[in-house]
Amino acid sequence: MHSGFNYQWLCSACQRTYQPGQPTVEWEQKCQFCSSRLDLETPHFPRWDSCVTDLPGLWRYLRLVPTSETSAKLLLSFDTPEFAVPIASKSLAEHLKVNSVFLLPCTTGPSGTFKDSEAAVVIAKCLDWGWNNKILCWHSTGNTARAYREYALRAGITNSSFFPLDCLYKWKGAATDRRGSLRAYDGVFQELSSVAKKHAETIGAQYLAPLVWKVEGKACIAYVIAEHVPDATCIVQTIAGGYGALGMALGFTRLNKTGLLKNTGIRFSLFQIEGADTISRLLPLGRDITQTDLVLPKNPFEPTLQSTNPLSTFRLIRSLVEDTKSTVSSVSPAEVEAEAGAFLSACRELGVALSYEYERSPFISWAGLVRAATVGHLRPSENIVIVVTGCPPRYGFIPEIEDVVRP
């Protein structure tokens, strides 16, 4: 295999192989001859001790990640791993009347958000592709942009982040660095993507919103679950577009091929907040999504969950739900508020830093689980893993904004 890499790509149809580090091939992970999907080929690992490294966070699973070791070592930090080892919560298991509940903290990385694992892999690929001297550009409600910016700055790459002006508070405590400009948009969220793309085109920047690479970092969430909670029955997460669940499903598929995953009965319990629950509302209707189906509230309960991503991910999520016997359910703000205190207390007991003020996503998951237990949708034998998204309490100042763009 190519020097510095632990993998190659194999066309699922014509069986052609591709060496890593080629952006023309890897950007979309498609065969250049027949346009079929490319599958990741890694060495066979009979046991976890032959697979994992002594590196922190997602880089523990570097031998399963489609990046070079060189790029990984430029980005890693032992002080801010992208996620921690799952922690058992006896009190939450007793509350739900199930066998076990594990919290998987994804708030330990440099941005303090679930997007760190995605950002680490995406920026590592930019380094693999030799994009060090390019300006990188992206947009989000805040978490993705903040995570990408953190890793880009760590790599020494100049970048530009677009986000809604209403989400300015998401940047509290972020590093002040002129190489990472912040650009707020004072308009409707649906227009933000086109604004960011236009800016990137104007300045000759590389715009990043790669679907296949957004899920790659999330595959590592599956690896840490499979290694440390091998008998998990249910994985719980709050979603906007569902990239997290899609990434974890990809990770489990890859583990099946390596022989490291013995548990094939894992399902997902995914939750959305009412008012931003496009996927949950449409799945029972049995039809595809259209632009008019997309619902983005003017005053969202949790701004992070505003997303146009369901336009791209809806079919994929529907397939995931059908294949794994999973569910996507809506949760009301009242349910979240009623149950938030118990979940926050349990997290604090176990040293999992969370802030209800700065993000409510994990509290939505917990409220959905409580309802599921109440109506008998959870078995006493369940081993549940809650992917703890959200963020820890934030301190400090908001970096100066480069520009406020208006319609």
pLDDT tens digits along 366-398: 999 999 999 999 999 999 999 999 999 999 999
Q: What is the pLDDT of residue 198?
A: 96
Residue 331's beta-bridge partner residues?
273
Per-residue exposure over 279-312, b if at least 16 CB sit within 10 Å of its own CB, e if not: bbebbeeeeebeeebbebeeebbbbbbbbbbbeb
Higher pLDDT, 4 or 321: 321
Contact 63, 31 (CB under 8 A): no
Question: pLDDT, tens digit, for every residue of 146-177?
Answer: 999 999 999 999 999 999 999 999 999 999 99
User: Is the confidence at residue 218, as pLDDT, over 90?
Assistant: yes
Pairing state between β 87-88 and 100-105:
antiparallel
Query: pLDDT band at residue 296, thresholds of 50, 70 and 90?
Result: confident
Q: Residue 2 pLDDT > 70, yes or no?
A: no
Is 87-109+214-388 CATH 3.40.47.10?
no
Which amino acid belongs to residue 10?
Answer: L
Q: Which two tokens stand for residue 259?
A: 């022989």
Q: Write down the pLDDT at residue 295.
A: 73
* Fold: same for 87-109+214-388 and 116-211: yes
The helices-and-strands tally (H runs, E runs) of the chain is 12, 14
Q: Which residues pair with 272 in a beta bridge?
A: 330
Write the pLDDT tens digit of every residue in 27-72: 999 999 999 999 999 888 889 999 999 999 999 999 999 999 999 9
Q: CA-CA distance, 214 to 73, in Å (whole number)?
A: 20
Q: Computed over its alpha carbons, how large is the radius of gyration of the chain? A: 20
* pTM attached to this predicted model: 0.95
**Which residue from 177, 179, 137, 130 is spatially nearest to 160, judged by alpha carbons?**
137
- Weakest-pLDDT range from 166-175, 179-188, 202-211: 202-211
Is the pLDDT assigned to residue 123 strictly greater than 90? Answer: yes
Q: Is the dihedral of CA 62, 29, 39, 283 positive or negative?
A: positive
Residue percentage of the chain with pLDDT more than 90: 86
Q: What is the CATH number of domain 116-211?
A: 3.40.50.1100
**Torsion over CA of 7, 9, 13 and 16, rounded to 10 degrees?**
-100
pLDDT at position 262 is 80
Distances (CA, A) of 20 to 6, 64, 151, 271: 9, 13, 21, 36
CA distance 179 to 391: 24
Q: Find out whether 281 and 91 touch, Cβ atoms under 8 Å.
A: no
Inform me whether the pLDDT recorded for 299 exceeds 90.
no
pLDDT given at position 355: 96
CA distance 208 to 177: 20
| Residue 127 clears pLDDT 90, i.e. is over it | yes
Amino acid at 323: D
Mean pLDDT of the chain: 94
DSSP 140: -
Q: How confident is the model at residue 292 (pLDDT cuts 50, 70, 90)?
A: confident
Section 221-249 average pLDDT: 96
Instruction: Please report, for the chain, the start and end positions of each structural domain, with discontinuous segments joined by +.
Output: 1-41, 87-109+214-388, 116-211
Task: Please report where in the chains the tokens 């632990």 appear, as a residue.
Answer: 6
> What does the CA dihedral 55, 238, 231, 375 come to, rounded to 10 degrees?
160
Q: Calculate the alpha carbon distances from 167 to 159, 209, 302 in Å.
A: 19, 19, 10
